[in-house]
Amino acid sequence: MNSKIWLSSPHMGGNELHYIREAIEMNWITAQGHCLDYFEKDLASFLNKKYFVAALNSGTAALHLALIELGVKAGDEVICQTMTFSASANPIAYCGATPVFIDSEKDTWNLCPIALEEAIQDRIAQGIKPKAIIAVHLYGMPYKVTEIHAVAKKYDIPVVEDAAEGLGSTYKGVNCGTFGDFGVLSFNGNKIITTSGGGALVCQTKAAKDKAVFLSTQARDDAPHYQHSQIGYNYRMSNIAAGIGRGQMEVLADRVQQRRANNSFYRQLFQDIAGVTVFVEPSADFFSNHWLSCITLDEKICGKTAEQLRLHLLEDQIESRPLWKPMHLQPVFEGSAYYGGQVAEDLFKTGLCLPSGSNLEEDELHRIATAIRSFFA
Ligand SMILES: *Cc1c(COP(=O)(O)O)cnc(C)c1O
């Protein structure tokens, strides 16, 4: 039987073990050490040296700390893109706040600026001004930064930029992760680079970074004993994980190139299959890392559904996956406020994520192409 082809699996660069060994030899094993310092510096120099990066143990933790730093409290409302992974929205609940979900637009599948403004106006009319906006670069595709930030600015609402899937993507030549009041990165095992598990908060000021580090290491006040005047969290990245991160940063540019090459491969493959559209950048302003390559199927034209294709690929041990199920359709967020139409719902019904790992081999790509061609033949 053929070996399994995964959607997106970890891809080591080669020097990770060297940095881990160094950390172990120096006995810096936990949440302190030079790998952390270097990894944070590597990230800042990749993004733009004027930002301050705090390495944390997950992207979810970074989102949570962003909301805390923005003062989100119980009873507040926070706006969030409905089409996303649940980790974008869960930290709203951690704060005791209430999510307000917004539909996607068709070009980038991300926050629709029109529905966003409608929502803000309606919430304000109801007497509750949203405390923050969580905007996501889904599958690595930058959201409409100019339009979204213009709305946020007009109503003076801070933006948490969920760039968990968007490291290496750019909008008008500027790195994703640097547009928001806070930027969030993830180094989970399936992301474009991994630290086994991890994340980072991109901050505009050193004070904001210091606060994130303080909160992520149990909020210990400056005293010889354990003194606390705030609720703390155990959210700091370990020095070992940061060692993996240092190795991964050396190959990030390659990883972006490899994932983008997968996208070209799919574009070519589907060129003459009517009714299938590969998800690509709407204009030259957008540069996606193509973390995952996705397609949508028009059943009326191609006569097949995304689910049929998924099952067909699975028969040949090829993993694919439906797009993110919108948050306003999730049982856990039932009854939440929602603004927009059917865009996210339709994408969920017709879309599929295809194998997109940067470590896909030539023969695996060939197997994928053969399975897809036989399905549509
Ligand atoms: C992966 C992901 C996160 C969470 O990151 P973790 O490191 O897994 O906690 C948040 N938002 C999006 C859109 C993600 O894909």
Instruction: Report whether pLDDT(34) > 80.
Output: yes
**pLDDT classification of 33: cutoffs 50, 70, 90:** confident
Given 201, 224, 251, the domain boundary residue is: 251
**Best of 88, 108, 182, 185 for a ligand 1 pocket test (most atoms within 8 Å of beta carbon):** 88
Give 81 Cα–ligand 1 centroid separation in angstroms: 14
Q: Is the CB of 81 under 6 A from ligand 1?
A: no
Residue 28 CA to residue 210 CA, distance in Å, equals 20
What pLDDT shows up at residue 308? 98
Using the atom order of ligand 1, give the atom closest to the CA of residue 87. 10
Residue 331 CA to residue 368 CA, distance in Å, equals 34
Backbone angles phi, psi at 142, to 5 degrees: -60, 140
What is the tens place of the pLDDT at every residue in 360-377?
Answer: 999 999 999 999 999 999
Say how many domains are in the chain: 2
Same domain, 161 and 247: yes
Same domain, 197 and 317: no
Backbone angles phi, psi at 162, to 5 degrees: -85, 95
Same domain, 133 and 232: yes
pTM of the model: 0.97
Same domain, 293 and 241: no
**Best of 7, 82, 104, 165 for a ligand 1 pocket test (most atoms within 8 Å of beta carbon):** 165
Using the atom order of ligand 1, give the atom closest to the CA of residue 199. 7
Same domain, 206 and 71: yes
Q: Find the CATH number of the domain harbouring 116.
A: 3.40.640.10
Using the atom order of ligand 1, give the atom closest to the CA of residue 198. 7
DSSP 8-state class, residue 138? G
Q: Which domain holds residue 302?
A: 253-376
What is the tens place of the pLDDT at every residue in 243-254?
Answer: 999 999 999 999
Residue 7: which H helix or E strand, with range?
none
Apex 164 CA angle, 92 and 333, nearest 5: 30
Given 201, 223, 251, the domain boundary residue is: 251
What pLDDT shows up at residue 30? 84
Instruction: Report whether pLDDT(42) > 90.
Output: yes
Backbone angles phi, psi at 125, to 5 degrees: -60, -30
| 184 bridge partner residues | 162, 201
**pLDDT classification of 29: cutoffs 50, 70, 90:** confident
Residue 10 lies in a domain: no
Residue 1 lies in a domain: no
What pLDDT shows up at residue 31? 83
Taking alpha carbons only, the member of 270, 255, 360, 372 closest to residue 6 is 360
Same domain, 131 and 24: yes
Residue 83 CA to residue 328 CA, distance in Å, equals 9
Q: Whose CA is nearest to atom 5 of ligand 1?
A: 59
Given 219, 251, 283, the domain boundary residue is: 251
What pLDDT shows up at residue 373? 96
Of the chain, the percentage scoring pLDDT greater than 70 comes to: 100
Residue 266 CA to residue 287 CA, distance in Å, equals 17
Q: Is the CB of 195 under 6 A from ligand 1?
A: no
pLDDT averaged over the chain?
97
Of the chain, the percentage scoring pLDDT greater than 90 comes to: 97
Burial group, residue 369, by CB count within 10 angstroms (0-12, 13-18, 19+)? middle
Mean pLDDT of 266-291: 97
Mean pLDDT of 134-157: 98
CA distances, 28 to each of 25, 280, 369 (Å): 8, 43, 46
Same domain, 104 and 122: yes
Q: Is the CB of 161 under 6 A from ligand 1?
A: no
Same domain, 312 and 370: yes
Instruction: Report whether pLDDT(198) > 80.
Output: yes
Residue 36 CA to residue 25 CA, distance in Å, equals 15
What pLDDT shows up at residue 205? 98
Residue 6 lies in a domain: no
Residue 255's SS3 state is helix
Q: Is the CB of 84 under 6 A from ligand 1?
A: yes
Q: Is the CB of 85 under 6 A from ligand 1?
A: yes
**pLDDT classification of 98: cutoffs 50, 70, 90:** very high
Residue 81 CA to residue 141 CA, distance in Å, equals 14
Mean pLDDT of 327-333: 98
Residue 193 lies in a domain: yes
What pLDDT shows up at residue 2? 82
CA distances, 347 to each of 7, 95, 148, 305, 319 (Å): 19, 30, 21, 12, 19
